[in-house]
Amino acid sequence: MTDALSPVFAALADPTRRRILAMLLEDDMAVTDVAEPFEMSLAAISKHLAILAGAGLISQEKRGRVKWCKLEPDALREASVWMTGFGLVEPVNLDAFERFLNAELGTPPEE
């Protein structure tokens, strides 16, 4: 595994972080909105967000007093290209990825 991909796969290994990515598929979100459905502290969510950002899966920016999170799908594409090289998986389709995450997490798709 290349050094650039190691943080991506490490970030994807955690179910909380996968759920956060599924939430961000819909739209950018404020950190407090990301934290709302979880039963953990804002500090714990911030640590998860830092890992996702460090892997390049999300970006964060401050808008006024609010910190916003945005999905950065290129990191997923790079991981998909790497896995496709083994002929075991198809390239990542973000719509299909969203359906997969919703099914895994038992969350209904948003309309």
- Tell me if the pTM is above 0.85: no
What tokens does 9 get? 């796969």
For the chain, give every domain's residue range.
6-104
DSSP single-letter state for residue 73: T
DSSP single-letter state for residue 110: P
Residue 99: how many CB atoms within 10 A of its CB? 14
Report d(CA 83, CA 54) in Å as an integer.
Answer: 21
Give me the CATH code for the 6-104 domain, please.
1.10.10.10
First to last CA, the chain: 37
DSSP run (H or E) holding 35: helix 31-35
Give residue-wise pLDDT tens across range 44-91. Answer: 999 999 999 999 999 999 999 999 999 998 888 888 887 777 766 566
